[in-house]
Amino acid sequence: NAGVMQNPRHLVRRRGQEARLRCSPMKGHSHVYWYRQLPEEGLKFMVYLQKENIIDESGMPKERFSAEFPKEGPSILRIQQVVRGDSAAYFCASSPQRTGGFGYTFGSGTRLTVV
């Protein structure tokens, strides 16, 4: 039973390009959370999704960022027209249910570098 799989582990993009980050939750987990970790900062919540639904995107920048969790396939965090300030580690976590704090499993993260 594989854990939460994120890919790629490292992603380099030039300013203005698009970045697509993938997260496959643990088997049986239908809730996915994305977090961003800026250098020297703690993790910050971005978005919470269930299959085909965005439940809470209050932590996500209004422009250039979008997330989806389709019926089939991984959850995708998409950043359009990347800027240097988007350079960070992006983690996703999954859980089998909504009730806060039970069964969260984190992925290894994607480290995005914008050059």
Binding flag, residue 101, another protein (CB under 8 A): yes
Span interacting with another protein, options 14-22, 63-71, 77-85, 90-98, rule CB under 8 A: 90-98
d(CA 66, CA 64): 7
Binding flag, residue 54, another protein (CB under 8 A): no
Which residues lie closer than 8 Å to 63 by C-beta, 6 or more apart? none
Question: Can you tell me which of 7, 30, 87, 105 binds another protein, judged by CB under 8 A?
Answer: 105
- Considering only residues 19 to 48 of the shown chain, the ones binding another protein according to CB under 8 A are 33, 35, 41-45, 48
d(CA 70, CA 91): 18
The candidate with the shortest Cα–Cα distance to 45, out of 27, 31, 58, 63, is 58
CB nearer to another protein: pick between 17 and 50:
50
CB nearer to another protein: pick between 79 and 95:
95
Q: What are phi and psi of 73, to 5 degrees?
A: 100, 180
Q: Are 111 and 39 in contact (CB under 8 A)?
A: no
CB nearer to another protein: pick between 20 and 111:
111
d(CA 112, CA 98): 28
**Which chain residues interact with another protein by CB under 8 A?**
33, 35, 41-45, 48, 56, 58-59, 91, 93, 98-102, 104-109, 111
